[in-house]
Chain A
Amino acid sequence: MMKPILAILTLAAAPLAAQDFSEGSEARSWNLYAEVPAKFEAKVVDLVCEFSGDCPTDCGAGKRQLGLVRTADDVLVLPMKNSQPAFTGAAVELQPFCGQTITVDGLMIDDPELGANNVYLVQSILAPGMEKKIKANQWTKAWAKEHPEAKGKGPWFRRDPAVKEIIATEGYLGLGLDVDETFIAENF
């Protein structure tokens, strides 16, 4: 009588237990407090589409946030970062694969106290038909293509027209140019 019930309980509990996706990962450490290497297969989804049914065919052309629905456990992972240490997200990297099932390698950030559950830094992508994985580092190239007028020296974030416009009017601290002036005089 009890044996079948115990067997069912065991089977039911298996997907609920935390799984280890670090096996086979070649992710580089970023020396982050809560990073965990993770390589897994997942379907790339448009998050607005997933939740509210608003589903453009191009998944937002890299301007919408995308998700990764992991094959092993159906968990929705939020890819927040690509592999570039340059304030750059992951949507541009994943958009070409929207709707496809791919294998990603990178770092999971696991800090439940802060609310960081199933958030991810994508370092590489392997899609069906690819001989080799590709690095998730195309964001700055895509930005340069989108902003030929901002060509110049220095990192993209110093040259981005929209960012520059806001800083020019609100200041670096966002509180007005007078506040910036005082802060800079006291701190530099």
Chain B
Amino acid sequence: MRRIILAFLAALALPTAAAAAEGTRVQVKGEIIDTWCYFSGVMGSPDAVVGSAHHTCALWCSAGGIPVGLLAEDGTVYMVLKVGDDAQAAGGDTLLKLAAHTVEADGMLYERDGLNYIVVSDVVSDLDITNKNHDDFGNVPAFSIPNPNK
């Protein structure tokens, strides 16, 4: 009986210990997004808060220190913590210049409590903005482009 209980407790402990520390090497292709607008819905639907429609707001959020994400083609969001030697993922210039761009990134993935965190070792390619969705959604939010008539 005692052995059964101990074995059960040991089995429970194993996944927790492994998940906290292990990283996995990954290559991800996707768009550099503003995660707050994407997750919160504060500016509209997920399709509207990416791409050219949301480029200016993505700049504001990145410069403002909101976590930047890498939205992969399968819909997975990776929270970017570092790019190359630049760990300034809260308002740094490296990620600011990539706002709304589609990139191919190589890095280490850390999964913890339902989120995917990525430490990017190398941006293998920067394909610029490929999601040209402003004709579908306009500029989001509408005040992101100052009205020239006012």
A-side residues, CB < 8 A to B, are 1, 4-5, 8, 12, 30, 32-35, 47-48, 51-52, 54, 60, 62-66, 75-78, 80-81, 86-92, 109, 111-112, 114-119, 121, 139, 156-158, 160, 162-163, 166-167, 170, 172-175, 179-180, 183-184, 187-188
Minimum CB–CB distance for A2 against chain B, Å = 11
B-side residues, CB < 8 A to A, are 1, 4-5, 8-9, 12, 23, 35-36, 38-42, 46, 52-53, 55-57, 59-61, 63-67, 75-77, 79, 81-82, 87-93, 96-97, 99-100, 108, 110, 112-117, 119, 128-129, 132, 134, 138-139, 144-149
B91 x A173 contact (CB < 8 A): no
B114 x A118 contact (CB < 8 A): yes
Q: Hey, which chain A residues are within 8 Å of B114, CB to CB?
A: 112, 115, 117-118
Q: Hey, which chain A residues are within 8 Å of B139, CB to CB?
A: 172-173, 183, 187
Q: Hey, which chain A residues are within 8 Å of B113, CB to CB?
A: 75-77, 117-118
Which residue of chain B has the shortest Cβ distance to A143 in the bound complex?
A: B64
Inter-chain residue pair count (beta carbon < 8 A) = 194
User: A172 is contacted by which of B39, B46, B55, B112 (Cβ under 8 Å)?
Assistant: B55
Q: Hey, which chain B residues are within 8 Å of A118, CB to CB?
A: 113-115
B129 x A4 contact (CB < 8 A): no
Q: Hey, which chain B residues are within 8 Å of A179, CB to CB?
A: 52
Asked whether A89 and B148 contact (CB < 8 A) given A80-B67, A139-B65, the answer is no
B39 x A174 contact (CB < 8 A): no
Q: Hey, which chain B residues are within 8 Å of A188, CB to CB?
A: 145, 147-149
Which residue of chain B has the shortest Cβ distance to A4 in the bound complex?
A: B5
Instruction: Offer 14 A-B interface pairs, CB within 8 angstroms, sorted by A.
Output: A33-B41, A48-B82, A62-B65, A63-B65, A63-B90, A64-B88, A89-B90, A91-B90, A109-B40, A115-B76, A116-B39, A162-B63, A174-B128, A175-B55
User: A52 is contacted by which of B53, B59, B108 (Cβ under 8 Å)?
Assistant: B108
Minimum CB–CB distance for B66 against chain A, Å = 4
Which residue of chain A has the shortest Cβ distance to B69 in the bound complex?
A: A115
